[in-house]
Each structure stands twice: as structure tokens, then as C-alpha cells.
Amino acid sequence: MSSTSFDPTRTRLSPAELRGRVIAITGPTAGIGQALALECARYGAEVLLLGRSVRKLEAVHDAILALQTHDGEPIAPPSIAPLDLEKAVAQDFDTIARAAQERWGRLDGLVLNAALLGQPMPIEEYDMPTWVRVMHVNVTANVALTQTLLPLLRASNDASVVCTSSAVGRKGRAYWGAYAVSKFALEGFMQVLADELEKSTVRVNSLNPGKARTQMRRQAYPSENIATLPDPATLTSPFIALLGPQARGTTGCAFDAQPASSASSPPSSIET
Ligand SMILES: NC(=O)c1ccc[n+]([C@@H]2O[C@H](COP(=O)([O-])OP(=O)(O)OC[C@H]3O[C@@H](n4cnc5c(N)ncnc54)[C@H](OP(=O)(O)O)[C@@H]3O)[C@@H](O)[C@H]2O)c1
């Protein structure tokens, strides 16, 4: 199903790696998604920002407009679309797809990045409403969004779906509950979709960013000195590589943005 020779952590990116591509990102209003949205724009992409807070979306939109691209060409103005993955119904996904169809007639990239941590606790005690919420945001809503956008991705001659994964979505760890199970599910979704689209121009892969200095990490490790962790801006290159033309032919693969030792040396028993 996949080409394993491609390594997104070792790809030499051209300054115009994403020039001309339209890339949708969920959760672009904080942390890794925000850093990625800015970097996609710097590499020339036209970014579609999908988030639940219009105020935060507008702030990222304005931050992108103020950037310089890596190739010196004008920045492509981003677009914003309100989308709360917890509350969205079919009509909300359709509205986004219709707007993208009218505007571009295609999508070249989709990054399923937004996620909820839930509550780290033993399965025996796990709060079921929280379980349902985490599984819905991290899995079901991402699947529904992808399903609705698939005709637009198929309309591209080189489209890339990237599922933002986690170490605990590849090896289960105690107390990670719904978050870990949701990331396993996202990995499964990636494999199933990649297999179904094997003969298409749409590739589907997962990328575990490893630990990063974000709000989610702070929530997971309240006593950790977060200043010692990588800035999300330093972890975007493998995402860009997977979204760009050099990843063509690579599908169904699970990648890590950081070396396993660095990504999984836990200060406690918990690893996002
Ligand atoms: N940080 C790490 O160490 C780490 C490690 C491994 C994997 N990851 C993964 O990396 C991805 C990004 O995580 P992060 O650390 O950057 O998290 P973060 O800083 O908490 O950002 C999460 C993003 O998801 C959005 N979001 C949450 N619930 C949403 C909803 N119902 N509808 C729409 N958007 C929603 C947030 O929007 P608001 O701004 O509106 O809250 C925010 O933009 C996640 O998939 C996470 O599992 C992170």
C-alpha cells in the first residue's frame, strides 16, 4: 500500500514547496495547528482555517497576512470557516464543502489536527460523557469532515490527508483513556482510507508530532516545565513534507516528527 522510502523528517523543502496548493487545517487557532497554518502559508499555500472561535480564526488570518513567504512571492490570503467539531452536523460540513467547491473546485490538503485530551484516568473510572465527547471530536467528526471533503480532494491532481496522531495512539498506555483510543482509531481510519484510495491521487498518512509546548501538553502534565519542550513551530517541517509534492506515492504510513527516544521520554507515566 505504501512507499516506505519517503522520510518527512529528512525532506529538503523548497521555498515554494506548497505554492498553489489549497490546504484545510482543523484546530489552527492554537499550538501545533496554528504553527502549521502559518508555515503552510510561508511555503506558499492558500490555507483554509477551520476552527470553533471566529475571534481566534480572525487573529490567525491576520497573522498570516503579516507574514513573508519563503520564496519572496506575495502571501496567499487565507480563508476562515467556523467549525465546532463537537457540535457540527452534516449541514455544517456541507456548507464548508460547498464554499470550497465554489472558491477552488478542489482541495490539495487536509490536516486533521484538532483534538481534545479528555481526562487522564483509569478505564474503570472513566467518565462516559467525556469518553463520548473525545471520541466524537477526535474521530467521528474528523471522519465526517473528510468524507464530505473527499470529492474536493479527489478533484486535486495531488492531494494529501494528514492525521495528527500521538505516541499513545500507537502503543496504549495506562490512564490515557479515550484520548489514546481515539488516536488508535484515527490511525485505523488512516489505514482504511489509504487502502480505499490507493489507486487515486489522494494519499493518507499519519504523523505523531511528539511532545510540544502547547496548551494540551500543559493540561496533560501540569507540573512539567513546559519551557523545556520544543516550540510547535520547530515541528512543522514533516507536516509540510507530507503535504507537498515530494510525498507523492506515499500512503498508509505512520510517521514521527521527532525521534522516538525524544518523543517518548516521559517526565511522568503520561505521554501525549
Ligand atoms: N502537544 C503535544 O505534546 C502533542 C503530542 C502528540 C500529539 N499531539 C496532537 O497534536 C494535535 C494538536 O495538539 P496541540 O497540542 O496543538 O493542542 P492545543 O494547543 O490544545 O490545540 C488544539 C486545537 O484543537 C482545537 N479544538 C479543540 N476542540 C475543538 C472542537 N470541538 N472544534 C474545533 N476545534 C477544536 C482547538 O481550538 P481552540 O483554540 O478553539 O481551543 C485548538 O485549535 C492534536 O491532535 C494532539 O492530539 C500533541
Q: What is the pLDDT of residue 74?
A: 97
Q: Closest Cα partner for 12 from 201, 272, 238? A: 238
Helices 128-135 and 177-196, interaxial angle, to 10°?
A: 30
What is the distance in A from the centroid of ligand 1 to the CA of 207?
A: 14
Q: What is the pLDDT of residue 263?
A: 40
Q: Closest Cα partner for 40 from 52, 53, 56, 28? A: 28
- CB of 255 closer than 8 Å to CB of 238: yes
Pocket test for ligand 1, best of 36, 214, 225, 268 (most atoms within 8 A of CB): 214
What is the distance in A from the centroid of ligand 1 to the CA of 32?
A: 7
Q: Closest Cα partner for 110 from 68, 81, 70, 73? A: 81
Q: What is the pLDDT of residue 272?
A: 59
CA-to-CA distance for 167 and 266, rounded, in angstroms? Answer: 11
Query: Residue 202 burial (CB < 10 Å; 0-12/13-18/19+)?
Result: buried
Pocket residues for ligand 1 (CB within 6 Å)?
A: 26-27, 29-33, 51-53, 56, 83-86, 113-116, 137, 164, 166, 208-209, 211-212, 214-217, 272
Q: What is the DSSP letter of 72?
A: S
- CB of 36 closer than 8 Å to CB of 236: yes
Q: What is the pLDDT of residue 194?
A: 98
Percent of the chain with pLDDT over 90: 93
pLDDT per residue as tens digits for the range 130-175: 999 999 999 999 999 999 999 999 999 999 999 999 999 999 999 9
User: Count H helices, E strands: the chain?
Assistant: 9, 7
Mean pLDDT of 99-103: 98
Task: Give the helix/strand (H/E) hosting 109.
Answer: strand 109-112
What pTM was computed for the model?
0.96
- CB of 221 closer than 8 Å to CB of 117: no
Query: Residue 215 burial (CB < 10 Å; 0-12/13-18/19+)?
Result: exposed
What is the distance in A from the centroid of ligand 1 to the CA of 2?
A: 28
CATH code of domain 16-256: 3.40.50.720
CB atoms within 10 A of CB 120: 21
Query: Residue 17 burial (CB < 10 Å; 0-12/13-18/19+)?
Result: buried
What is the distance in A from the centroid of ligand 1 to the CA of 164?
A: 9
Pocket test for ligand 1, best of 25, 26, 32, 83 (most atoms within 8 A of CB): 32
Nearest CA to ligand 1 atom 39: 29
In sequence order, the β-bridge partners of residue 164 are 207
Nearest CA to ligand 1 atom 38: 29
What is the distance in A from the centroid of ligand 1 to the CA of 26?
A: 9
Mean pLDDT of 46-66: 98
pLDDT per residue as tens digits for the range 180-200: 999 999 999 999 999 999 999
Pocket test for ligand 1, best of 113, 161, 264, 270 (most atoms within 8 A of CB): 113
Mean pLDDT of 105-131: 98
